[in-house]
Amino acid sequence: MTTFEQELRKLFDHDAVFSDTKFVGRTCYGKISDNLRVRAEFVTLGHADHYEALKISLINRTEGVIDSTVLRFREVLGNKQVTNPNFKEGVSPHLWKYQDELEWYVYKPTPSDFNKLANAVDDYIEVFREPVHEISQGMTSQMR
* Segment 8-26 mean pLDDT: 90
The pLDDT assigned to 7 comes to: 95
In terms of phi and psi (left: phi > 0; alpha: psi -120 to 50; beta: otherwise), the region of 86 is alpha
Give the Cα separation of 47 and 12 in Å (integer).
26
| Residue 120: band (very low, low, confident or very high) from pLDDT cuts 50, 70, 90 | very high
Q: Does position 19 have pLDDT exceeding 70, yes or no?
A: yes
| Residue 64: band (very low, low, confident or very high) from pLDDT cuts 50, 70, 90 | very high
Give the Cα separation of 39 and 35 in Å (integer).
13
The pLDDT assigned to 97 comes to: 93
The pLDDT assigned to 16 comes to: 82
| Residue 142: band (very low, low, confident or very high) from pLDDT cuts 50, 70, 90 | low
